Each structure stands twice: as structure tokens, then as C-alpha cells.
Amino acid sequence: MKKTFLLLILTIFTNLLLAQDVDIYHKNKNANYKLPAIPGNMTFEEFELLSQNIRMKDWIFAGIVPGYIHFKAREPKTGYWLIGIRSASYITVGVTYLIERNKFNNIQQTQTDFLQGNYRYLYLVAFATALSTYLYDVIHGDYKLHEKQEKIRYKYAIKLSRDMSVVPGNHGRMIPSFAITWTF
């Protein structure tokens, strides 16, 4: 029974590591982005930023690596701040837990008295800070990524509409047109 359970756990972790994405609704194509004609003056970084999406595996990685989504959105300053704040909160949670555990073991109190001392609020504030930095990373990082993508799309959409040679099916030729409108 123990070997079967161990084999099952090993199989699950192997499948997770080999999976391309952790997502509820798997898609065979990227439904959010269709490849248009790429403007000649678009940089690779801009193109790469346009093709990025925040998926469920990024949410999982953001729980492990502080600031992951901000780094993905090319916001390194915010990402480094999140690393520092979440690391400090993890250290505070650990230290307060160890201090209270040592008090708990020395006095032999009941289980309900655990974390009832002076460090209880510090522990709770540090835990809430770690959780809030995760939420900030996910929500604000996704917002910043979409904001940058919209700026890039806007930047190149105006230039494409003014450029007469990029009209689809036109092959670089200008098509003259004339219209008469009668109003009564």
C-alpha cells in the first residue's frame, strides 16, 4: 500500500513537471493574440511583451517567487521591492513562531495558549503582509502587463493606419476612390 501511494505521488509530480501549463481550461492555441504583420520598427522586447499572458501557473509561481508577475511585466523595481517585503515578512513569521514555540515548550501550556503572548500581533501582521504582497503581485502585475500591451498596440496601430502600403490585400498599391453623397 505504501509503495502504491508513493508511486501515485511520484506520477502526479512527474505529470505536473512535464505539463506545459497548469490551467483549468486548456487551449490548443492562444486565443488572446493573433499574429498580425509585424511593423519593421517594433523591437523584440515589445513583441515579446505583447505575447505574454498571465496564466494559472504564473499565479502558482508568484506564490513561490515574490514579484514574479512584475518581473514578467518588465517592472523589476517593483519586483525587487516585493522580494524584500515578502522576505522580511517570512523572516518575521519564522522568528516569532520560534520564540513562541520555545515559550510554549518551556512552560508546557495547553494548545489554546499558543501564540497568545506579545508576539501574536506581530505574527499576524507579518503573515498578512506576506499574503498582501502576493495579492499585490498578482493583481497589480496583471494590470501593468495589460497596460503596457495596450500602449504598444496603440503605438503601432496609429502608424499602421497612416501607412498606405500596409493595407491588407493592397500589395503596396494605392487605390483611388471617389464618392458622391446626395442629401435631401
Per-residue pLDDT tens for 88-118? 999 998 888 888 777 766 555 555 555 666 7
- Does residue 137 carry a pLDDT above 90? yes
In sequence order, the 6+-apart residues with CB closer than 8 A to the CB of 54 are 69, 72, 138, 141, 142, 145
Instruction: Name the band, by pLDDT with cuts 50, 70 and 90, for residue 2.
Output: confident
Q: What is the pLDDT of residues 67-80, one digit of tens each?
A: 999 999 999 999 99
Domain ranges of the chain: 55-162
Of 175, 159, 179, nearest to 37 by C-alpha is 159
Q: What's the mean per-residue pLDDT of the chain? A: 76
Specify the pLDDT at position 169. 52
Share of the chain above pLDDT 70, in %: 63
Lowest mean pLDDT among 33-42, 61-70, 116-125: 33-42
Q: State what percent of residues in the chain have pLDDT above 90.
A: 27
pLDDT band at 1 (very low <50, low <70, confident <90, very high): confident
In terms of residues, how long is the chain? 184
Tens digit of each residue's pLDDT (9 = 90 or more) over 166-181: 445 555 555 556 566 6
- 39 versus 67: which is more confidently predicted? 67
